[in-house]
Amino acid sequence: MNQNIRNIAIIAHVDHGKTTLVDKLLKEGGVFRANQQVEERAMDSMDLEREKGITIKAKNTSVHWADKIINIVDTPGHADFGGEVERALRMVDGVLLVVDAYDGPQAQTRFVLRKALQHGLKVIIVINKIDRDNADPAKMYDRVLELLMELNATEEQFDAPVVYGSGRDGYMMKNLGDKRENMTPLFQTILDHIPPPFAKPDEAFHMLVSNIDWSDYVGRIAIGKILGGKINVGETVFTVRHSDGKRLRSKVTKVFEYSGLGTQETDAGVAGNIVGLSGFEDIDIGDTLTVDEAGHALPFTEIDPPTLEMQFAVNDGPLVGQEGKLVTSRQLRERLFRELKTNVSISVDDSDRAGVFNVKARGAMQVAVLAETMRREGFEFLVSRPTVIEKVIDGKRMEPYETVWIEVPDECVGSIMQNLANRKGQLTNMEKLPHSTMLEATITTRGLIGLEIDVVNATSGRGVTNHLFKEYGPYAGEVLTRLTGTLIATEGGETTAYALIMCQERGKLFVSPGEQVYEGMIVGENPRNEDISINAVREKKLTNFRSQGEGVGAGLTPATKLSLERSIEYIAADEFVEVTPQSLRLRKRILRATERRKAERSGKSE
């Protein structure tokens, strides 16, 4: 065992303060200079992470404290990125479970804690944000203990030490009455309670690849914890592939250690440390690296299977290629298959139609993040509505079910319960909180698609939804998820205020004056459950007389703009979202109205 190293992961529900806590640990560990300007949430380095305020990719860093190296892995809190969490837990010996002192353990707290307990990891409970109004740290600690009992924690895991504090304000304490000084109590608890990494320094080098990084200078970097021996730059290693068991020979060109927010090159990697190795042409997560040519593959934890499937297709609309540079089937295919190299929780297959690819993932948010990343790289493509992946078990049709928790203001409970009933959701628990009500229900994954939008609309943005995969159960029959129809453009061209004033009497508009539209594009929502064709580009006929209709733009309601994630959940089975670097457009799969009617008559509207 290497006494100088500790490997820990930070796990928590979304927004309970993991990444902010890492900031303070880095600061006290002397990673930043005294006068250095550091952005908040320094670990969230992707643009999308900063914009959404969530962690998407698990990331490594390390802090030097009291002559010890503490390797820290910051993990996502969102269930859609569960694959990232599972990989991170393979590299560590203990976890900091961060819980908000006001909200207490939430849906994802349960999810990530269950994974940590299954791996047999030591737990340190961190009750964070004790400075919040109405915070009740002592009660939340009791609720964490109840959760540990519920998840069948061992006696040792149940006796987890607890620290209280505020990551934002930079203090932790072992007892609630202690002086609020700095992060030392947390550092001390980590060194006392988390064991040094179990590794065999005397054996031949072997390591399981838990993550893949990419550098423009050295190519693919395999990241993992060295389980035995040491590795030097220039040594020959063998990759035992997880997918087919093949052995490939390579030479290690660089060894990276984590230090603060960056990496630094070193001559050798030692047992127990988390390192990055380069020099491999082709390496994937789950592969084993060993210097012994006859070395065996290390076991790789199976990751929860995807539950949703969507299609990514080549853009065949009239405006194709005007905003994006990457529009061909080959470019789209190469990009999707490249994503598989670093993202183990999605899978991509070619479909039976040219230029259409099936992408399977854990949730709509995960796909929305992939699509958003691709549009920023200059891609144009179409995305379909998510469909659930069904199974046949013992001759019966089964589909995935999830547990959903919805926190809503008291006056909105009735409308949300009605919505759940429409979606075949079964209410299992209802709890009165100080300022709101928590509803817990079991619902099919199909019924969950678009629910978040409905909750936001019904509660004027005050409702909070969380969900977790539960099990596969019997097929629930037809589920009603969208109660509205659409307004479809009949003509192509530029929208005019004159036309839109008349169109808005039919429903809510998604386009503003001066936007390009085409036949078959969805320009608004109709409150009735049917599609209405409208002309959004009609111009006002000019005459010699000034009409009273001057200044018609004054009565125009601002258009509703849906985000990518909302758009994907909003569309119906016969619709697509057209994603380009600058625009998001909703459209019918079949653009021409006459062809749509033909397809409907022949029952092929899919």
> What CATH number does residue 526 fall under?
2.40.50.250
Domain membership flag for residue 199: no
504 has a pLDDT exceeding 70: yes
- Shared domain check, 13 and 97: yes
Residues β-bridged to residue 522 = 488, 586
Token code pair at residue 320:
């194709």
Beta strands 59-65 and 68-74: pairing type?
Answer: antiparallel
357 has a pLDDT exceeding 90: yes
- Shared domain check, 596 and 529: yes
Beta strands 122-128 and 381-384: pairing type?
Answer: unpaired
How far apart are alpha carbons 569 and 566 in whole angstroms?
A: 5
State yes or no: 20 annotated in a binding site. yes
Beta-sheet strands, E only, within 77-155: 94-100, 122-128
Half-sphere exposure of 370 (CA within 13 A, CB side): 32
Output the pLDDT for position 260.
Answer: 58
How far apart are alpha carbons 460 and 412 in whole angstroms?
A: 10
- Shared domain check, 211 and 183: no
Output the pLDDT for position 178.
Answer: 82
How far apart are alpha carbons 606 and 604 in whole angstroms?
A: 5
Question: 594 CB contacts (<8 Å, ≥6 apart)?
Answer: none
- Domain limits for position 233: 206-290
State yes or no: 129 annotated in a binding site. yes
- In this predicted model, what pLDDT tens digit does every residue of 295-319 receive, in sequence order? 777 777 666 678 889 999 999 999 9
The domain that holds 276 is classified in CATH as 2.40.30.10
- Shared domain check, 272 and 183: no
The domain that holds 468 is classified in CATH as 3.30.70.240
Domain membership flag for residue 20: yes
Residue among 144, 565, 518, 92 nearest 320 (CA): 518
- In this predicted model, what pLDDT tens digit does every residue of 14-53 receive, in sequence order? 666 767 787 777 777 654 444 444 444 444 444 554 454 4
- Shared domain check, 118 and 50: yes
Q: Could you give the angle at which helices 18-28 and 184-193 cross, rounded to 10 degrees?
A: 90
Residue 562: count of CB within 10 angstroms of its CB: 17
How far apart are alpha carbons 42 and 260 in whole angstroms?
A: 10
- The one-letter amino acid at 564: L
How far apart are alpha carbons 466 and 13 in whole angstroms?
A: 10
- In this predicted model, what pLDDT tens digit does every residue of 439-483 receive, in sequence order? 889 999 888 887 887 888 888 878 878 777 788 899 888 887 777
Residue among 130, 233, 225, 231 nearest 173 (CA): 130
Domain membership flag for residue 273: yes
Mean pLDDT for the stretch of residues 83-97: 79
Letter string b/e over residues 138-149, b meaning 16 or more CB atoms within 10 A of that residue's CB? eebbeebbebbe
State yes or no: 15 annotated in a binding site. yes
Beta strands 387-388 and 219-228: pairing type?
Answer: unpaired
Task: Check: CB of residue 348 under 8 Å from CB of residue 339.
Answer: yes
Number of domains making up the chain: 4
3-state secondary structure of 314: strand
Residues β-bridged to residue 260 = 62
Task: Check: CB of residue 137 under 8 Å from CB of residue 126.
Answer: no
Task: Check: CB of residue 13 under 8 Å from CB of residue 102.
Answer: no
Domain membership flag for residue 187: yes
- Shared domain check, 222 and 181: no
How far apart are alpha carbons 208 and 225 in whole angstroms?
A: 7
State yes or no: 128 annotated in a binding site. yes
Mean pLDDT for the stretch of residues 61-86: 73
State yes or no: 507 annotated in a binding site. no
State yes or no: 131 annotated in a binding site. yes
How far apart are alpha carbons 205 and 291 in whole angstroms?
A: 6
Output the pLDDT for position 540.
Answer: 77
Output the pLDDT for position 1.
Answer: 54
Final residue of a structural domain among 265, 290, 315: 290
Burial of 178 (0-12, 13-18, 19+ CB in 10 A): middle
Burial of 394 (0-12, 13-18, 19+ CB in 10 A): exposed
Residue among 590, 506, 591, 498 nearest 536 (CA): 498
How far apart are alpha carbons 141 and 123 in whole angstroms?
A: 13
- In this predicted model, what pLDDT tens digit does every residue of 115-156 receive, in sequence order? 788 888 899 999 888 888 888 888 989 988 988 888 888 888
- Shared domain check, 470 and 563: no
How far apart are alpha carbons 87 and 118 in whole angstroms?
A: 13
- Shared domain check, 137 and 45: yes
State yes or no: 78 annotated in a binding site. no
- Shared domain check, 498 and 431: no
Final residue of a structural domain among 193, 222, 241: 193
Residue 91: count of CB within 10 angstroms of its CB: 22
- Shared domain check, 87 and 24: yes
Domain membership flag for residue 151: yes
Residue among 373, 431, 397 nearest 143 (CA): 431
Q: Could you give the angle at which helices 107-118 and 137-150 cross, rounded to 10 degrees?
A: 50
Q: In what order do the strands lie in the sheet with 171-173?
A: 59-65, 68-74, 5-12, 94-100, 122-128, 162-166, 171-173
User: What's the distance, CA 236 to chain centroid?
Assistant: 37
- In this predicted model, what pLDDT tens digit does every residue of 171-226 receive, in sequence order? 888 888 888 888 888 888 988 998 888 777 788 888 888 877 777 777 788 888 88
Output the pLDDT for position 384.
Answer: 93
- Shared domain check, 59 and 130: yes
Domain membership flag for residue 342: no
Domain membership flag for residue 83: yes
Token code pair at residue 222:
């395999």
Final residue of a structural domain among 149, 170, 193: 193
Domain membership flag for residue 355: no
Token code pair at residue 304:
């929860």
- Shared domain check, 428 and 286: no
State yes or no: 501 annotated in a binding site. no
